Amino acid sequence: MKTLKLAFILTLSLIIFSCGDEKKQEKEKVKIGTKKQTSNTGNAKEIEVKITGNDQMQFNVKIVRAKEGQKVTLVLEHTGTMAANIMGHNVVILKQGTDISSFGSEASAAKDTDYIPNGGKDVIAHTKMIGGGQTTSITFDAPAKGEYDFICSFPGHYGIMQGKFIVE
């Protein structure tokens, strides 16, 4: 009987604590997504967008906004500690209509070209692959108005590390 009571209390405690964690994680996701989800797209001819990636395969930004033709400097900071050959990250902005899964599969076989397959024919812009503690940037002109996908092309990362680049 005491064992049954102990098991019940332990199970109830686990349920209570796990529910609290889910709510906390949900709030953090919303906070991250809204804090830096848009860029300053006013009338500026140039903008800088900072994206961080970590050892948990997460970008801190899910939506980036720019104006058509605007000069965009995209800064990628890898806030983790793992080396590029283990947990490398980059940001690849794909042309409209590019299938993310197909691109990601092809990218995994393109180690010699920094995981950018087919000479970059499906890519608008991309940063170089970096490891923990490193930062890189690239400057490019925002393409035509529309919605574009961005991903990390390191093998297996594209399923989680992706977002939208919206050009207004």
Q: Which residues contact 150 (CB under 8 A, 6 or more apart)?
A: 64, 91, 92, 93, 94, 162, 163, 164, 165
pLDDT beyond 70 at 29 = no
CATH number belonging to the domain at 36-167, selected among 3.40.50.300, 3.40.50.2300, 3.40.1170.10, 2.60.40.420: 2.60.40.420
Distance, in Å, from the CA atom of 2 to the CA atom of 161, rounded to the nearest integer, reads 48
As given in the structure block, the two tokens for residue 41 are: 């797209």
pLDDT score of 43? 64
Q: What's the pTM?
A: 0.75
pLDDT score of 38? 43
pLDDT score of 44? 82
pLDDT beyond 60 at 35 = no
Distance, in Å, from the CA atom of 95 to the CA atom of 103, rounded to the nearest integer, reads 11
As given in the structure block, the two tokens for residue 123 are: 């890519």
pLDDT beyond 70 at 79 = yes
Average pLDDT over residues 74-102: 97
pLDDT beyond 70 at 138 = yes
In percent, the amount of the chain with pLDDT more than 70 equals 74
Average pLDDT over residues 114-132: 97
pLDDT tens string 142-161: 999 999 999 999 999 999 99
As given in the structure block, the two tokens for residue 35 are: 């804090």
Q: Is 89 left (phi over 0), alpha (psi -120 to 50) or beta?
A: beta
pLDDT score of 152? 98
pLDDT beyond 70 at 42 = no
Average pLDDT over residues 130-147: 98
| Residue 114 or residue 28, greater confidence | 114
pLDDT score of 144? 98
Query: Edge-to-edge strand order for the sheet containing 92-94?
Result: 63-66, 162-167, 146-151, 92-94, 123-126
pLDDT score of 12? 45
